Structure 1
Amino acid sequence: MDKRVVVTGLGVCAPNGVGLENFTRAMQTGRSGIRHHPKLKQLGFSCQVAGEPLIKDNLLANYFTPLQLRGLNSSGLVYGVIAGRDAWKDAGLAIVAKGTPDWNSGILFGTGILGADKFRESIYQIDANNVRKLGSGSVMQVMASGISAYLGGILGCGNQVTTNSSACSTGTEGVIMGYERIRAGKAERMLVGSCSDSGPYIWAGFDSMRILPRKYNDDPTRASRPMSASAAGFVPGSGAGALVLESLESAQERNAHIYAEVLGGAVNSGGQRGEGSMTAPNSEAVIRCIREAIGNSGVQASDIDTINGHLTATGKDALEIENWKTALGVSGMNFPFVNSFKGHFGHCLAAAGSVECVASVLQIAKGQVFGNLNCEDLNPNILEQVDATKIPQKTILHQPRFLAKASFGFGDVNACVIFGQYCD
């Protein structure tokens, strides 16, 4: 049916801002949400800094009933419900109180590892022969689809309600999957997003791999350094982002505010062949994914004027820029404006794509390109490919017309979505 798909609602729970207003201000002003975590020091982590949303206790009562709060111990689920409900409200959509569900609205909310703290708590109860003390909420807090099930019940959605999981590309992949469902006429609205737990049980594996920065424990806001010559590894983060995608017809009928249009996208895998591996991207697949996303969007490579990359602050940043250069056929002053948000809140793992998609759409809505943090010493290999003016250090005025947002994940999986400025 090839319906046009637009973004009508945004919600976010990020380390540098909980709620859309706080988050927008943080992105515009370059406020970091990366902090030192004494618990990580206590546990002997080499990297003791991370990005974690700061949730006030009294805030939870706005999103959960007293019964739901009883025994709630899943940070990712909390982040996802906050972001998802905020996006739904931002879109001006009503919650089905009771009776017939909304058959035209669905949810596709992804995650990686959900409920790690709850799972640990449950294991201790089981080992202590206290199975009956687990509580009725333990299963839904640790199952991967717990977040979509929670949101589905809260909002009363009757279309597809499911969860995807593709490591760091989860959130961006979910946007594409939701877009495709609406475009095919199978739904009018899809709440898409992703969330990730926080804490040592999530971050320990990365610390043991020695791919996190170890020299910034006393200077946390400078630890995540995408595209920098002094980049020393990614800073782990957590949180959630959510977007309401809607057919243009439905949005116009409701007179909804439209942030941007989803023009198309692509997902693929490098098959862990060639230079690709469990942790490294296959450049051929990355380039192919970007080109297919552009082709599926009906635009030309030369139309892309803004890039929000994956760019995690590792030695692979220069390779990613090279892949963008090859995929778009541009370099130097002709290269689009490019930024990474990992300096603002770290690498939010399964939530990275959705949080960064929210920020990307905000750039279109605000007519701005948010600045890059901590890359005053730009990687010389990147400067050989891109003029420094295309990597702004602070937020600049620029109206993105066609923005490419990409995420690449463990397992050599890739996702790229093209957002456009909405025009009648």
Structure 2
Amino acid sequence: MNVVVTGLGTTSPLGGDVASTWEAALAGRSGVRTLENDWAEKYGVPVTFAGQLVVQPSEVLSRPETKRMDPSAQMAIVAAREAWADAGFGEDGVDPDRLGSIVSSGIGGVWTMLNAWDTVRDRGAARVLPLTVPMLMPNSPTAYVSLEFKARAGSHSPVSACASGAEAIGMGFEMIQSGRADVVICGGTEAAIHPLPISSFAAMQALSKRNDDPQGASRPYDVSRDGFVMGEGSGVLILESEEHAKARGARVYANVLGVGMTADAHHIAAPEPNGAGQTKAMQLSLERAGLTTADVAHVNAHATSTPVGDMIEARGIRTLLGSHADQVLLSATKSMTGHLLGGAGALESVFTVKALETRQAPPTINVTEPDPELQVDLVRDTPRALPAGQIAAINNSFGFGGHNVALVFGA
């Protein structure tokens, strides 16, 4: 069964919707900036910048909605509403028994959990909000999306760290192919710009500490890269069986052609040094799609800007594609958005679909001296044109715990 993308939604460090986010990405603008808080002074937090939302959910949602949802769920609802409207469902909508919801978060309701602990510690247990547990659950975003759109075919939330959003899309693809649903609202969300996650990632030496140059801190494949930049936001796609989309005359952005999922089984945080699991995920995604490497024109890389991880993935892409890698355009969009953790694979799937639709590969910024080991054509500073005709693009997402997900889209 063929699966297509009929709707896109996002709220991100580049914009409050898909149009503004994509415009900023093509312009090579950074969404990273110094945080306006006293965390560094008060707690000694060593990193003082991140990729924050341009438009806060409180500017879009009602006060009752923001009061009962963790920020991660708020962001998911904003993106899901845009995607649903973009898909053009009329008043009849979709049969609820044929509609699914799969929206993931890598960390979940960290703000809710830690604020609740502050309340217990400072004001006593009796002052904890009754909705604390429903707000902090990692499945809260997908549950609220399911409630909003009456999705009864199934509501799921795979948690696989930074691969969560991509895994949700892969599961949505499989849910439609299996016949469980005609339409699935799927993607990822994350709201973890909080002193605890930032301090924890910094303690792992995972974050860039370029406090004096926030917009230049995320620099995938540059020889001076020193870690990733935290980001926040959500990306949501509406996946639909091709038959269902045609029956209602829907506009189709792209086809979802295949997904590959593997596990490194190597280390709780570090990727397997040879990148075998990552390469296998990409290979499986192409095999499932019935494609060869010659069909691939574009890769949106996981590329977080870490000294070790970037080149493991780059070598894996070269290994997979061989000499055809010379004809493939590589983009690393975290250079502009920062790393949305569980939302990253979803936002980058939005970018991948838009790249196919507009035939433009978005740029990678901040790369002044590419790593000499890089053997794939990196799109730097300005967009590059993708070929006409039928082409495919891969979106990679990898997460702590050794989770590897590769999605293949085609148009």
Please indicate the TM-score interval, normalised by the length of the shorter structure: over 0.9
Measured after TM superposition, the shift of residue 121 of structure 1 is: 2.1
Contact 2:32 2:337 in 1 (8 A): yes
User: Which amino acid letter does the alignment assign opposite residue 19 of structure 1?
Assistant: D
Aligned to 1:415: 405
Aligned to 1:41: 40
Query: What residue ranges of structure 1 are gaps of 5+ in the alignment?
Result: none
Equivalent in 195, 199, 216 of residue 200 of structure 1: 195
Measured after TM superposition, the shift of residue 123 of structure 1 is: 1.8
Measured after TM superposition, the shift of residue 358 of structure 1 is: 0.6
User: What is the 5 A alignment of 1:303-382?
Assistant: 303-315=295-307, 316-330=309-323, 334-382=326-374
Deviations 1:389-421 (A, max 9, x none): x43331122247100111111011100010000
Contact 1:96 1:156 in 2 (8 A): no
Deviations 1:251-281 (A, max 9, x none): 1111111110000111010111xxx553223
Aligned to 1:106: 100
Deviations 1:352-407 (A, max 9, x none): 1001111111101111111111113111111xx235xx433311222471001111
Aligned to 1:279: 270
Deviations 1:292-346 (A, max 9, x none): 11100001012111111111111221221111111122266x2411011111111
Q: Does 1:396 align with 2:384?
A: yes
Measured after TM superposition, the shift of residue 128 of structure 1 is: 5.1
Query: Hey, what's the Cα distance between the residues in 1 that align with 2:113 and 2:91?
Result: 30
User: What is the 5 A alignment of 1:25-424?
Assistant: 25-39=23-37, 40-42=39-41, 43-56=43-56, 59-61=59-61, 64=62, 66-70=63-67, 72=69, 74-94=70-90, 102-127=96-121, 130-197=124-191, 198-214=193-209, 216-272=210-266, 278-281=269-272, 283-315=275-307, 316-330=309-323, 334-382=326-374, 385-387=375-377, 390-399=378-387, 401-421=391-411
Deviations 1:42-63 (A, max 9, x none): 33222221111133476233xx
Query: What residue ranges of structure 2 are gaps of 5+ in the alignment?
Result: none
Aligned in 2, Cα 1:101/1:246: closer, same or farther, shift over 3 Å? closer
Aligned in 2, Cα 1:233/1:298: closer, same or farther, shift over 3 Å? same
Query: Hey, what's the Cα distance between the residues in 2 that align with 1:415 and 1:348?
Result: 16
User: Which amino acid letter does the alignment assign opposite residue 312 of structure 2?
Assistant: L
Q: Does 1:10 align with 2:4?
A: no
Contact 1:48 1:217 in 2 (8 A): yes
Query: Hey, what's the Cα distance between the residues in 2 that align with 1:310 and 1:392?
Result: 16
Query: Hey, what's the Cα distance between the residues in 2 that align with 1:229 and 1:211?
Result: 16
For the residue of structure 2 that corresponds to 1:9, the secondary structure is strand
User: Which amino acid letter does the alignment assign opposite residue 15 of structure 1?
Assistant: P
Aligned in 2, Cα 1:95/1:240: closer, same or farther, shift over 3 Å? farther
Length-normalised TM-score, structure 1: 0.90
For the residue of structure 1 that corresponds to 2:323, the secondary structure is coil
User: Which amino acid letter does the alignment assign opposite residue 325 of structure 1?
Assistant: R
Deviations 1:165-192 (A, max 9, x none): 1011111111111001101211000001
Aligned in 2, Cα 1:321/1:57: closer, same or farther, shift over 3 Å? closer
Query: Hey, what's the Cα distance between the residues in 1 that align with 2:58 and 2:31?
Result: 21
Q: Size of the alignment, in residue pairs? A: 404
Length-normalised TM-score, structure 2: 0.93
Query: Hey, what's the Cα distance between the residues in 2 that align with 1:219 and 1:331?
Result: 36
Contact 1:71 1:135 in 2 (8 A): no
For the residue of structure 1 that corresponds to 2:81, the secondary structure is helix
Contact 1:95 1:156 in 2 (8 A): no
Measured after TM superposition, the shift of residue 196 of structure 1 is: 0.8
Query: Hey, what's the Cα distance between the residues in 2 that align with 1:134 and 1:381?
Result: 53
Aligned in 2, Cα 1:75/1:95: closer, same or farther, shift over 3 Å? farther
Aligned in 2, Cα 1:218/1:278: closer, same or farther, shift over 3 Å? closer
User: RMSD across aligned C-alpha pairs, in angstroms?
Assistant: 2.0
Query: Hey, what's the Cα distance between the residues in 1 that align with 2:222 and 2:184?
Result: 37
Contact 1:364 1:399 in 2 (8 A): no
Query: Hey, what's the Cα distance between the residues in 2 that align with 1:306 and 1:57?
Result: 32
Determine what percentage of the aligned residue pairs are the same residue: 27
Aligned in 2, Cα 1:44/1:206: closer, same or farther, shift over 3 Å? same
Contact 2:9 2:237 in 1 (8 A): yes
Judge which range, 311-320 or 403-412, deviates more: 311-320
Deviations 1:208-262 (A, max 9, x none): 1122122x21221111001111111111111110000000011111111111000
